[in-house]
Amino acid sequence: MSIPLLTTVVLIYLAVIAWLSLRAWRTTHNASDYMVAGRRCHPFVMAMSYGATFISTSAIVGFGGAAAVFGMSLLWLTFLTIFIGVFIAFVFFGRRTRVMGLNLNAHTFPEFLGQRFQSRGLQGAAGLLIFIAMPLYASVVLMGGAKFVAEILAIDYNAALFFLTAIVAVYVVMGGIKAVMYTDAFQGSIMFTGMVTLLVITYYKLGGITIAHQRLSDMKELAIQAFGAKGHTGWTSFPTLGSEYWMVVVTTIILGVGIGVLAQPQLVVRFMTVKSDRELNRAVLIGGIFIMVAVGVAFIIGPLANVFFYYDNPATQGQIALTAAGRNVDQIIPMYISQAMPQWFTAIFMVTLLSAAMSTLSSQFHTMGTSLGRDLYESALGRRGNSMLINKIGVLVAIILSYLLAWGLPVFFEGGTAIIARGTAIFFGICAAAFLPMYFGALYIRRMTLAGAFAGFATGIAVSLFWILFVHLAESKPLLICRALFGVDSLAAGSIWAAVDPLVVALPASLLATVLLNGRGRQVAEPFLQKCFRNVR
């Protein structure tokens, strides 16, 4: 790779980030500006920020590499993220969240829930879950971004980690949600351009769309030979129903991420940044197109990488993608880019990956910081002061915590970004199980009680943690807690349940607990409900 070319691209990228951050800082005057962008965000900025926050390095590299193993069945996740993550989220959740958030003067997702159920305790508990669970997720994304920076600029990992953290910290702490959303929109535009270019060049190199897909279909026997025992049926077909690979593709990847997106705190708050439903309606099309490209291209390129490595790359001829990458799933996409793409595109793609990491990180830092400052310190503990300063301090604490985790745990990043992909699925699943039943109830069930909300929240967390620690083999085995207590890697070892994602069990349990306990305890007063649901359609 040409270092002067790469340096020029990176410097231009950072200069634009700096200009956008300065613009955001100059227009951020109060807590509303800092946390919800004054509720007057442009629909393009909102939609691109939503998409860029959703799509991290895990979607491009982690899940892209997974697609090289599991095949194009992962494209169903693209459908789910567009239909549920954009259409359902914006139309059925976003509109009511925007209006009710304005009625309740809510600035964060935990504050929205706390105000809706008239409970500072619920707001504090939701903020605490976010602040405890998200730093590990943020730290592995930070580690992934730092790893790429280190490789791109040929510098030490710790130096790259500090460099990346400092850049994101400056614009998030100073400019708040405006800086996050402005830079997200720019970074999302880079991601969109980079992925479209990647798709076009790939089809050109592999002989065109029809020929490329036919060649991949003809490799069916190779896939069955390599992964048939786990249910693989070829890279252009779905795994065998009920097999281990079917469970991973359907329960962890498609459902885990596709449903979990509805209850992501850093995404929900985007709905409260626009001034009317008109902006949300316009954002649906923009967000849908962005997600289709950013996610869909990765799930197409991954499987097609098998064609390149097996037929067209002299250094790996006769090897499928996983074998060519040394059985390291997370090296498949970077290796494909470096060996199949022209040099100029390699620089653009590395900036694309940097954009994916930074856009997700900035939103995570802002969400964690406001959870600590607004939801825990100001609401649950009842402390008062300069609200914008308190939240800036909260963001800074969240950044430092994530940085320390990323600095102290580099050993867990061995093997690329698989940890990021797994961390994404785990966090999405926990949020869905803990938040989704009461979030839906808050929007649509006028007489939902605090007891029902708390029951679902606690049950979702408890069942998720139990399944992660003692049943789901992908986590219970490396965590070693199950083996230490029971002498086995999973309590369901040898059965298909060991491959079932925690979300599939925890979300129904959370929903059941919500229904069973709803109606008990204190009812919210009717005058407050009228205020809460005013102008809600």
Count the residues in the chain: 537
Q: Tell me which DSSP letter residue 493 carries.
A: T
For the beta carbon of residue 154, count every other beta carbon within 10 angstroms. 10
pLDDT confidence of residue 48? 82
Among 379, 391, 408, 433, residue whose Cα is nearest residue 133: 433
Lowest mean pLDDT among 39-48, 113-122, 152-161, 403-412: 403-412
pLDDT at 424 over 90: no
Residue 207 has pLDDT above 50, yes or no: yes
Q: How confident is the model at residue 33 (pLDDT cuts 50, 70, 90)?
A: low
In this predicted model, what pLDDT tens digit does every residue of 354-388 receive, in sequence order? 787 777 777 888 888 888 888 888 888 877 766 66
Report the share of the chain in percent with pLDDT over 90.
43
**Cα separation of 373 and 45, whole Å?**
25
Confidence of residue 537 (pLDDT cuts 50, 70, 90): confident
Per-residue pLDDT tens over the stretch 461-499? 999 999 999 999 988 988 889 999 999 999 999 898 999
| Alpha carbon distance 59, 74 (integer Å) | 11
Q: How far is residue 66's CA from residue 322's CA, in Å, rounded to a whole number?
A: 9
DSSP character for 525? P
Q: What is the DSSP string of 73-134?
A: GGHHHHHHHHIIIIIIIIIIIIHHHHHHHHHHT--SHHHHHHHHTT-HHHHHHHHHHHHHHH
For 61-65, 273-277, 521-525, which range has the lowest pLDDT when averaged over its residues? 521-525
Hey, how many other C-beta atoms are within 10 angstroms of the C-beta on 88? 16
Name residues whose C-beta falls within 8 Å of residue 264's C-beta, 6 or more positions apart in sequence. 54, 428, 431
Q: Which residue has the higher pLDDT, 337 or 353?
A: 337
CA–CA distance, 420 with 461 (Å, rounded to integer): 21
Dihedral over alpha carbons 157, 162, 163, 168 (to 10 degrees): 130
pLDDT classification of 149: cutoffs 50, 70, 90: low
pLDDT tens digit sequence for 301-324: 999 999 999 999 999 999 999 999
Domains and CATH numbers, the chain: 3-423 (1.20.1730.10)
Using a pLDDT cut of 70, give the percent of the chain over it: 90
Predicted pLDDT at 503: 94
What was the pLDDT predicted at 23?
80
Which residues, in sequence order, are CB contacts of 285 under 8 Å at separation 6+? Answer: none
Q: pLDDT band for 412, please (50, 70, 90 cuts).
A: very low
| pLDDT band with cut points at 50, 70 and 90 for residue 166 | confident
pLDDT greater at residue 269 or residue 216: 216
Residue 402 has pLDDT above 60, yes or no: yes
Query: What is the per-residue pLDDT for 205?
Result: 93
pLDDT of residue 415: 43
396 vs 483, higher pLDDT: 483
- pLDDT band (50, 70, 90) for residue 152: low
Distance CA 366, CA 371 (A): 8
- Can you tell me the distance from the alpha carbon of 297 to that of 294, in angstroms, rounded to the nearest whole number? 6
Residues 468 and 258: their CA atoms lie apart, in Å, by: 19
Q: Quick one: tokens of 101?
A: 């958030």
Q: Tell me, what's the pLDDT at 386?
A: 67
pLDDT of residue 34: 63
Residue 213: per-residue pLDDT: 96
CA gap 197, 346 in Å, rounded: 11
The pLDDT mean for the chain works out to 85
CB 229 within 8 A of CB 74: no
